[in-house]
């Protein structure tokens, strides 16, 4: 998978950066620099193209995911992180995802498919990636940034995702904004405060 790796302090978690639809591996680097500037990061470009826009998995329509492809792409990403940890020498058990929109959705899918895939996650404007999976996320810290008036991800969907993750044992914090699906500096700053309180 096309990616950027930047070596940082190897005693700190490695950040896995996952862009939104139409983004690239460059998009979330400013978030890494704001949230945890001393950390290493692995920033990945999605392998799926939707009308020329990179994504991490296919969808059938707006808000309707191709679940078969989601499952396959989640495994592909999980395996890629493992391979990258060997190539770059970072601790596979100390990876924290930072995802926005489509990237947040596949990060959520990683958590639900494999409870050992991520140590923690910062999910900006995620949807429920898949339903009906049981995962043991006991004490896994998760930050969700959401929009009360998000036209793509309804507040009801955010609450449902929080409940799914909480029932799996995760320690979930939800931060609400009123800027639609937009990722704001204020939301990222809140994620940075959350990160510093946990790590």
**Please, what are the domains in the chain?**
3-198 (3.40.50.1820)
* pLDDT, average across residues 69-79: 98
pLDDT attached to residue 39: 98
Q: Is the whole-model pTM more than 0.85?
A: yes
Q: Does residue 79 carry a catalytic annotation?
A: no
Residue 43 in this model has a pLDDT that exceeds 90? yes
User: Does residue 49 carry a catalytic annotation?
Assistant: no
The closest alpha carbon to 13, from 38, 33, 39, 34, belongs to 39
Evaluate if residue 191 carries a pLDDT over 90: yes
Please write the tens of the pLDDT for every residue from 101-126.
999 999 999 999 999 999 999 999 99
% of the chain with per-residue pLDDT over 90:
97
Rounded mean pLDDT of 65-90? 97
Catalytic residue among 43, 101, 109, 117: 101
* pLDDT at residue 142 tops 90: yes
Return the residue matching tokens 């494999």.
114
Q: Calculate what percentage of the chain has a pLDDT beyond 70.
A: 100
Would the pLDDT of 62 be above 90?
no
Given a contact cutoff of 8 angstroms between Cβ atoms, the answer to whether 73 and 57 are in contact is yes
What are the backbone dihedrals phi and psi of residue 76, each rounded to the nearest 5 degrees, phi first? Answer: -60, -45
Q: Which of 113, 124, 135, 150 is catalytic?
A: 150
Known active-site residue 27: no
């Amino acid at each position: 998978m096309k990616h950027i790796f930047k070596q940082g302090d190897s005693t700190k978690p490695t950040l896995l950066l996952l862009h939104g639809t139409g983004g690239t591996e460059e998009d979330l680097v400013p978030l890494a620099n704001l949230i945890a500037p001393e950390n290493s990061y692995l920033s990945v470009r999605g392998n799926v193209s939707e009308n020329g826009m990179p994504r991490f998995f296919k969808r059938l329509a707006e808000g309707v995911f191709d679940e078969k492809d989601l499952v396959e792409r989640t495994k592909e990403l999980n395996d890629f992180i493992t391979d990258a940890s060997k190539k770059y020498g970072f601790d596979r058990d100390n990876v924290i995802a930072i995802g926005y929109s489509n990237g947040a959705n596949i990060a959520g899918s990683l958590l639900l498919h494999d409870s050992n895939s991520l140590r923690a996650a910062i999910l900006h404007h995620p949807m429920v990636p898949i339903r009906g999976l049981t995962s043991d996320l006991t004490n896994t810290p998760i930050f969700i940034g959401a929009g009360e008036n998000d036209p793509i991800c309804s507040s009801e969907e955010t609450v449902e995702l929080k409940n799914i993750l909480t029932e799996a044992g995760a320690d979930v914090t939800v931060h609400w904004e009123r800027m639609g699906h937009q990722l704001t500096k204020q939301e990222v700053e809140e994620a940075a405060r959350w990160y510093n309180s946990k790590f």
